[in-house]
Amino acid sequence: MKKILSTIVVLSTLFLTGCFEDINKTYNGPTVVEFNQAVIAAPAVGATYPLVSVNRGVGLQTTRINLVGPQRPNAETIKVSVDPATTATDGTHFKIVTSSVTIPANSSFGDFQIDILAAPAQAGKTVNVVLVLEGNGADIKPNENFKKLGFAIRL
């Protein structure tokens, strides 16, 4: 009886594992770019993007840009702009180091930097700067769900 039960268990295990579908997925969509922080963090309340909280004068902040799709044999330059709804003032609260980020050849990542300046202190006040990925102007577009990232600057 034990032998028959053992055989049934082994055979049922073999049959059941053959029913699982292949879970190895490969991305076949268009090549896009996205803010890594926007992928891993929840959106801020009332916004479609996350807000990274920083203190005034904290200095350079580096954020990773992901290339989703096949790696390119040549470096790609991705334009980054500031959303018009930004409440922080360029040159007072922040400074964009460069208006683009370069994703090196044969890589899936690039780093973008923003300098958070030492603006005058104002107790209890916060201003936001929202960055927007624009793509490379050709075949690499921003991922609509993860193309924005905000910094909430505590004054």
| Residue 12 domain flag | no
Q: What angle do CA 75, 84, 29 make, to 5 degrees?
A: 40
Cα separation values, 95 from 61, 66, 76, 90, 116, Å = 11, 22, 23, 6, 7
Instruction: Provide the 10 A C-beta neighbour count for residue 40.
Output: 10
Sheet containing strand 148-154, edge to edge, reads: 51-55, 148-154, 126-135, 76-82, 100-103
| Residue 110 domain flag | yes
| Residue 3 domain flag | no
Total domains, the chain: 1
Rounded to whole angstroms, how far apart are CA atoms 94 and 89? 7
* Per-residue pLDDT tens over the stretch 88-105: 989 999 999 888 999 999
- pTM, 2 dp: 0.80
| Residue 75 domain flag | yes
| Residue 126 domain flag | yes
Q: What is the CATH number of the domain that holds 128?
A: 2.60.40.2030
Residue 110 amino acid letter: G
pLDDT score of 11 more than 60: no
Task: Please state the rounded mean pLDDT for residues 62-75.
Answer: 93
User: What pLDDT sits at residue 137?
Assistant: 85
Identify the three-state secondary structure at position 63: strand
| Residue 50 domain flag | yes
| Residue 18 domain flag | no
User: What pLDDT sits at residue 12?
Assistant: 62
Q: How confident is the model at residue 22 (pLDDT cuts 50, 70, 90)?
A: low
* Per-residue pLDDT tens over the stretch 130-148: 999 998 888 899 999 999 9
Provide the greatest CA pair distance for the chain: 83
* Residues spanned by the domain of 142: 29-154
| Residue 6 domain flag | no
